[in-house]
Amino acid sequence: MAKLWDGRFEKETNPAVNDFNSSLRFDKRMFRQDIRGSIAHAAMLGKQGIIPMDTSIRIQEGLQGILADMEAGRIDTNTDAEDIHMFVESLLTERIGDDGKRLHTGRSRNDQVALDLRLYVLDESNVLKEELVRLMRTLLAIAKENLTTWLPGYTHLQKAQPVTLAHHMMAYFAMFRRDLQRLTDWEKRTAISPLGSGAMAGTTYPLDREFVADQLGLLGITDNSLDGVSDRDFAIELGSCISLIMMHLSRFSEELILWSTNEFSFVEMDDAYSTGSSIMPQKKNPDVTELIRGKTGRVYGNLMTLLTMMKGLPLAYNKDMQEDKEAIFDSLDTVFACLPVFTDMLATMKIKKENMAEGAKGGYMNATDLADYLVYRGLPFRDAHAVSGKLVLYAIHQNKALDDLSLEEMRAVSPMFDETIYEAISLSAVVNRRNLPGGPAPEAVTRAIENAESYLNTL
């Protein structure tokens, strides 16, 4: 393809340099956004009388034709064009002749690429939000079914206090809700049009920047032409939003890996979401979750790529910034590879309620409640803590649970115990009593689920 800037050059570009310089092989995925932006720009040029109206219309029609042909896969993008912007513009001129050469009036590839990338990530974010909501609905469905599925809660991965599976699922709901809110907030800063920034100092043509933003469904225009072409905060922020989503998915995956072990045996992944071993016939491995945990690393890496790419760049545009695309595209591709399969895996996972309840009984997790029992009877908490600790030590030596100690054994440590202690430290009582907002009691989790549902209904 002929260069659109070769006027001041006396030599052809070295083919290796051409290849090195070209971003077409990865930025061609922005062809829809590039064409959408160009159509809005051409419409504005016509409306402002910067180019004749019939030229504007021919350009717009030509671009629509290219869009249709690209969508249908009728166009070979395997050319030596420098990037998607040059590719589309050259094709347009090839098709409609000299009118095509007027499209780039009052525009630079620097504001063009800044716009295209914003439009692209906004489109992707809409799909990402839908996937997050699907995961959140799946979590709610599991929570509703498991309000009284007792589950051990851990700190330091040591048994701490019993909760319910519903409560555990709602913890992840809270994380993914924040992820969703972050994307919604990010959109406000991203849906802003940089067109009109030109190469870096704006332009002399009487562009209607607001009109272009409006045509593209954006919320406004950038404030400063230097910043307009050289700001990639929106890509870094999105890289960070995706990193947080992956971090949440990875923590969840780690738990599901543990829960799938023979030792825990709290869940079993459906056969359709597990893999076997080539040598050990008995194996059923949770590869999906492991891959998600593993892929989190590359998404963090992409975030570092973007941050590092920007940190030394003087204003305004620098070619380094072409490197933004592969990093953010890979993060998007990765989260889109992980989220749907994770949701489907979760929805089909077998929950072994009896094993969870069994786990919730062990580990002296009612020791805090035993102490609280004494506190309600007037003992200071520190003293109650000591009594409870002594009884735990005694029970460990007897190889018994606290509930299995006789009243005599308990009264030997403190005379404040009576028959009511057994009900007070029963598994259901321990959980049910924790009914503050945000607590694990079925009553509190029911309210949390109601709130979550009304939140999803506002979306």
Q: Is position 277 annotated as part of the catalytic site?
A: yes
- Residue 112: count other Cβ atoms within 10 Å of its Cβ: 25
* Interface pattern 261-300 for ligand ARG (x via CB under 6 A): ----------------------------------------
Residue 169 sits in the site that holds ligand ARG (CB under 6 A): no
Please pick, among 274, 277, 278, 406, the residue that the annotation labels catalytic: 277
If one asks whether residue 118 binds ligand ARG (CB under 6 A), the answer comes out as: no
The residue (of 109 and 248) whose beta carbon lies closer to ligand ARG is 109
The Cα–Cα gap between 221 and 219 comes to 7
Cβ density class 62-88: b for 16+ within 10 Å, e for less: bbeebbeebeeeebeeeeebbbbbbbb
Q: Decide whether 227 or 290 has the Cβ nearer to ligand ARG.
A: 227
3-state SS of 15-37 is HHHHHHHCCHHHHHHHHHHHHHH
- Of 300-329, binders to ligand ARG (CB under 6 A) are 317, 319, 321-322
The span of 106-114, 234-242, 424-432, 433-441 binding ligand ARG (CB under 6 A) equals 106-114
Q: Phi, psi (5° rounding) for residue 173?
A: -55, -45
The CB-of-112 to ligand ARG minimum distance in angstroms stands at 7
What is the chain's alpha carbon radius of gyration, rounded to the nearest angstrom?
30
Which residue in this structure is represented by tokens 């591709």? Answer: 333
CA distance 283 to 301: 32
Q: Whole-number minimum distance, CB 71 to ligand ARG, in Å? A: 22
83 scored as a contact of ligand ARG (CB under 6 A): yes
When the beta carbons of 83 and 369 are compared against ligand ARG, the nearer one is: 83
Among 23, 146, 250, 414, binds ligand ARG (CB under 6 A): 23
- Cβ proximity to ligand ARG: between 30 and 143 the closer is 30
Distance in Å, CB of 36 to ligand ARG, minimum: 17
Examine residue 90 and tell whether it contacts ligand ARG (CB under 6 A): no
Is 104 one of the annotated active-site residues of the chain? no
Region class of 73: left (phi > 0), else alpha (psi between -120 and 50), else beta: left
Residue 198: CB minimum distance to ligand ARG, A: 11
Residues 394, 413: Cα–Cα separation, whole Å: 10
Counting Cα atoms < 13 Å in the Cβ hemisphere of 137 gives 11
Q: Cβ 191 to ligand ARG, closest distance in Å? A: 20
Extract the runs of DSSP E, i.e. beta strands, from 299-368: 350-351
Pick between residue 83 and residue 179 the one whose CB is nearest to ligand ARG: 83
Least Å distance, CB 175 to ligand ARG, is: 33
Considering the complex, state which of residue 86 and residue 175 has its C-beta at the smaller distance from ligand ARG.
86
Total residues contacting ligand ARG (rule CB under 6 A)?
10
**Does position 111 bind ligand ARG by CB under 6 A?**
no
Q: Would you count residue 110 as binding ligand ARG (CB under 6 A)? A: yes
Q: Which is nearer to ligand ARG, 198 or 440 (CB)?
A: 198
Q: Which of 156, 278, 397, 454 is catalytic?
A: 156
What kind and span of H or E run contains 427?
helix 427-432
Residue 66 phi/psi, 5° resolution?
-65, -45
* Residues whose CB falls within 8 Å of the CB of residue 354, separated by 6 or more in sequence, listed in order: none
Contacts 24+ apart (CB under 8 A), 427-436: 427/150, 427/162, 427/357, 427/360, 427/361, 427/366, 428/148, 428/150, 429/369, 430/161, 430/162, 430/365, 430/366, 430/369, 431/150, 431/162, 431/163, 431/164, 433/369
Q: Tell me which stretch binds ligand ARG (CB under 6 A): 29-37, 107-115, 219-227, 266-274.
A: 107-115
Per-position x/- string for 27-66, each x denoting binding to ligand ARG as judged by CB under 6 A, each - no binding: x---------------------------------------
**Shortest Cβ distance from residue 313 to ligand ARG (Å)?**
12
Task: Output the six-digit token pair for 53.
Answer: 């109206």
Cβ 115 to ligand ARG shortest distance, Å: 11
Pairwise CA distance, residues 359 & 264, whole Å: 8
Q: Residue 135 is encoded by which pair of tokens? A: 């995961």
Are 384 and 371 a contacting pair, CB within 8 Å? yes
Per CB under 6 A, 334 contacts ligand ARG? no
Among positions 113, 175, 180, 430, the unique one binding ligand ARG when judged by CB under 6 A: 113
| Minimum distance from residue 238 beta carbon to ligand ARG (Å) | 16
Contact (Cβ atoms closer than 8 angstroms) between residue 225 and residue 114 = no
Nearer to ligand ARG, 175 or 321 (CB): 321
Q: Which positions lie near ligand ARG, rule CB under 6 A?
A: 23, 27, 83, 109-110, 113, 317, 319, 321-322
Q: Which residues are catalytic?
A: 156, 277
